[in-house]
């Protein structure tokens, strides 16, 4: 199989050592060995995510927890804030689960602002707010801390749901300080794990809300997940044991790098890609709100993107096309997880070679 470096916003490369960590015998999820593994993971996962909240681990991708968050937490009415394709997807998820939902959508490429959220909140009594932290389609990082601060000023009991699928583990998100009630993410982006696990840091306030919500479903029921976490140090249904071995090992690697160093590395790679892309093509996301993990680059109408991806494939690298309705006008470079600054330099130099040969 060809090995190409993945400069895409997920799945991201997994280090060989972490792939190998999966190669261990199965254990039953009601065994002491499993409870020990699960507890060991739990404490370090809280450290990595900077939270004292419990973190549920599900055998699903992040979309499963988008569904879980709305099913468990929406009481009377949800305000779903979207600034791109993944926010719009979450809106579709909320509607298909029957959650009473209003959509606040901004122009693509622009961030959501506290003013917009305040104006929307004055229109109805919302008890739940949902927002995507890092919009992977447009490459915009929304000012989630400022949005929550403003929103809570209007309704202190608000339950706040944050999708940080493409930023948690690579970008500084102080969950407890920002008072995020549910922060959800996937294994295959900044955590640099194989796909198949998702994590939700859940506050007491979110859990209290869930208790009053009927038809939370079963597989992602927070109350059930809580019961099994507390009483059995396990999950209600069979967990993805091999992936948990990988997670256990990867948490050690992340903490060995150090989270501040990890955030700084992502920031430095983002700055490098941005300044290059700004000079060569132009950036899609508004200045001041650009993602630290994925850069959405403007693609000229006559640009030979297929030629570029073929050229990069010959050099063992993959970048991503645009996503959703901006597929034709953008492409994306992911710089997250295992990607190192030297890898970014190599990628950009190779693209420069392609441009020079044109």
Ligand X SMILES: *Cc1c(COP(=O)(O)O)cnc(C)c1O
Which residues of the chain form contacts with ligand X (CB under 6 A)? 9-10, 61-63, 86, 132, 134, 136, 163, 165-166, 186
Task: Kindly give, in sequence order, each residue whose CB lies less than 8 Å from that of residue 213, ignoring residues fewer than 6 positions away.
Answer: 71, 72, 73, 74, 75
What are the residues whose beta carbons fall under 8 Å from the beta carbon of 289, sequence distance 6 or more? 110, 111, 140, 141, 142, 143
Q: Which residue has the tokens 């990628």?
A: 347
Phi-psi region of 84 (alpha: psi -120 to 50; beta: other; left: phi over 0): left
Distance from C-alpha of 66 to C-alpha of 68, rounded to nearest angstrom: 6
The CA-CA-CA angle for residues 348, 263, 66, to 5°, reads 95
| Shortest Å, Cβ 141 to ligand X | 11
CB 51, CB 175: distance < 8 Å? yes
Nearer to ligand X, 64 or 233 (CB): 64
Q: Which is nearer to ligand X, 34 or 160 (CB)?
A: 160
Q: Which is nearer to ligand X, 34 or 136 (CB)?
A: 136
Q: Using alpha carbons only, what angle is made at residue 68 by residues 67 and 71, rounded to the nearest 5 degrees? A: 85
Indicate the residue among 34 and 86 with the shorter CB distance to ligand X.
86
Residues forming a β-bridge with 169: none
> Helix 144-154 and helix 114-121: axis angle, to 10°?
30
DSSP three-state, residue 221 = coil
Q: For ligand X, which is the closer residue by CB, 10 or 143?
A: 10
How long is the chain? 358
Report the nearest approach of ligand X to the CB of residue 121 (Å): 22
Q: How far is the CB of 315 from ligand X (least distance, A)?
A: 25
CA 135/CA 60 separation, integer angstroms:
20
CB of 250 to ligand X, least distance (A): 16
Is residue 247 within 8 Å of residue 22, measured between CB atoms? no
Shortest distance, CB of residue 174 to ligand X, whole angstroms? Answer: 19
CB 198 within 8 A of CB 57: yes
Q: Tell me the closest approach of the beta carbon of residue 181 to ligand X, in angstroms.
A: 17
Shortest distance, position 166 Cβ to ligand X, whole Å:
4
Minimum Å distance from CB 324 to ligand X? 12
- In the bound state with ligand X, the residue whose beta carbon lies nearer, of 34 and 104, is 104
CA distance 240 to 187: 12
Residue 86 or 281: the one with the smaller Cβ distance to ligand X is 86
CA distances from 80 to 3, 101, 123 (A): 39, 7, 13
Q: Find the shortest distance in angstroms from Cβ 200 to ligand X.
A: 12
Residue with Cβ nearer ligand X (137 or 235): 137
Which C-beta is closer to ligand X: that of 118 or that of 172? 172
159 Cβ neighbours under 8 A, 6+ residues apart: 73, 75, 127, 128, 129, 181, 182, 205, 206, 209
Helix, strand or coil, per DSSP, at residue 141: strand
What tokens appear for 311 in the block?
A: 């050229």
């Amino acid at each position: 199989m060809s090995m190409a470096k993945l400069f895409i916003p997920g799945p991201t490369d997994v280090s060989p050592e972490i792939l190998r960590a999966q190669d261990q015998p199965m254990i039953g999820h009601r065994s002491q060995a499993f409870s020990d593994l699960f507890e060991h993971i739990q404490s370090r996962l809280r450290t990595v995510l900077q939270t004292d909240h419990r973190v549920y681990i599900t055998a699903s991708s992040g979309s499963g927890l988008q569904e879980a968050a709305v099913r468990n937490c929406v009481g009377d009415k949800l305000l779903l804030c979207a600034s791109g394709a993944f926010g719009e997807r979450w809106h579709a998820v909320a509607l298909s689960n029957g959650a009473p939902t209003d959509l606040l959508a901004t122009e693509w490429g622009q961030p959501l602002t506290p003013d917009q959220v305040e104006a929307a909140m004055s229109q109805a009594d919302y008890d739940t707010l949902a927002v995507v932290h890092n919009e992977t389609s447009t490459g915009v990082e929304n000012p989630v801390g400022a949005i929550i601060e403003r929103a809570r000023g209007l309704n202190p009991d608000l339950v706040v749901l944050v999708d940080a699928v493409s930023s948690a583990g690579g970008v500084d998100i102080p969950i407890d300080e920002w008072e995020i009630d549910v922060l959800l993410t996937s294994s295959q982006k900044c955590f640099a794990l194989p796909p198949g696990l998702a994590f939700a840091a859940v506050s007491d306030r979110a859990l209290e809300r869930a208790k009053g919500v009927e038809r939370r479903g079963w597989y992602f029921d927070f109350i059930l997940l809580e019961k099994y976490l507390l009483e059995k140090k396990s999950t209600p249904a069979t967990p993805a044991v091999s992936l948990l071995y990988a997670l256990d090992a990867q948490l050690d690697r992340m903490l060995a790098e150090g989270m501040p160093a990890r955030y700084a590395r992502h920031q430095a790679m983002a700055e490098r890609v941005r300044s290059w892309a700004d000079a060569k093509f132009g950036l899609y996301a508004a200045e001041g709100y650009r993602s630290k993990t994925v850069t959405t680059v403007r693609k000229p109408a006559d640009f030979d993107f297929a030629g570029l991806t073929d050229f990069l494939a010959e050099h063992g690298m993959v970048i991503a096309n645009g996503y959703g309705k901006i597929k034709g006008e953008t492409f994306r470079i992911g710089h997250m997880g295992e990607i190192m600054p030297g890898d970014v330099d190599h990628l950009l130099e190779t693209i420069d070679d392609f441009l020079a040969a044109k």
